[in-house]
Each structure stands twice: as structure tokens, then as C-alpha cells.
Amino acid sequence: MMKLSLRVNGRDVTGDVEGRTLLVDFLRNDLRLTGTHVGCDTSQCGACTVHVDGKLVKSCTMFAVEADGAEVATIEGAAAPDGTLSVIQQAFQDHHGLQCGYCTPGMVMTAASLLRENPKPTEHEVRQYLEGNICRCTGYHNIVKAIMAASGQEMPAMAAE
């Protein structure tokens, strides 16, 4: 077993993990942060997306020990402590950006990263940025709409419903 210590959603945490333990499993099983989902375990679906030191990471592609000393953000840290949804979460709710919700934590974390890098993305840029996140339900349209709304923009009329 190996020891690790890191900050997760602003809280210092420690753990004992095997070298092969994936970050997503440490988050879900050891820290009980089950909002980070496992869809494929092979780096394709994006359901496990978190931020590590501000970078977007599919947490099924990273060993937990690689996050030693890092600052990790998961979906559980997105809302305010009083439960007020983040602007992006609220936009997903307002624009029906989810159905089953399985992809949603990863989508929200990806959207947060996009809007940090590019506060006013075009619809095309939003769709490109979401390429690593698969949604089986929504057809993506309302997800893109929600992210555009969270950036303070409307979808262009041609692309709108």
C-alpha cells in the first residue's frame, strides 16, 4: 500500500492505496464521492471527468498516487456549501441538459473547464470541447444550449430548437 495526501474540493484528505488504484476508484470508494461516474473505464466516455490542479482529467486514466499533493475538484464541489447550484449546473437544469444524468457530472466539469479557458465560446467550440464526453440520452443539443446559456449567450437562431 502507498500513502497519499491531496486536497479534494478544498478539503485535505489522506489515503492508503495500492499502486494500481485508479483515481476514480479512490474518489468513489475511499472518499465516497460517487458523483464522479464510471461509464467505460477505458478513457472514452468522460463520465469520470474531474479537475486535477485545474486541468481536465478523466480520472479512470490516472492512478490515485499520481494525484499525491494535487488539488482535485469533483462535481461535489461545484455547488456552493449551502447547496446553491453553480451557474453551469443551474443552466443544465433550466435548459434540460440532462435526462438520465449519468454523463452529467463529467459534462459539468468539462463545461467549467471550457468556460474558464474560453468564457464566450461559439457553439462550434462548445461541441468540439465536449468531444471527450459521451451522452447516450440527450442528443447533446440541450447540453450545448445550457453551456451557451451559462456563458451568457444564446444559441444562434439557426441551431436553436
Residues near ligand FES (CB under 6 A):
38-41, 43-48, 58, 60, 98-104, 135-138
Residue 111 Cβ, how far from ligand FES at the closest point, in Å?
Answer: 13
Do 123 and 160 meet the contact criterion of CB atoms below 8 Å apart?
no
CB atoms within 10 A of CB 161: 6
Alpha-carbon Rg for the chain, nearest whole angstrom, is 16
Of 29 and 99, which has the nearer Cβ to ligand FES? 99
Q: Which H or E run contains 147?
A: helix 141-150
Chain Cα centroid distance, residue 65: 20
- Give min distance, CB of 85 to ligand FES, in A: 17
Cβ 58 to ligand FES, closest distance in Å?
A: 4
**Cβ closer to ligand FES: 99 or 158?**
99
Alpha helices in 28-103 (DSSP H): 87-94
Smallest gap from Cβ 12 to ligand FES, in A, equals 25
For ligand FES, the closer of residues 40 and 160 by Cβ is 40
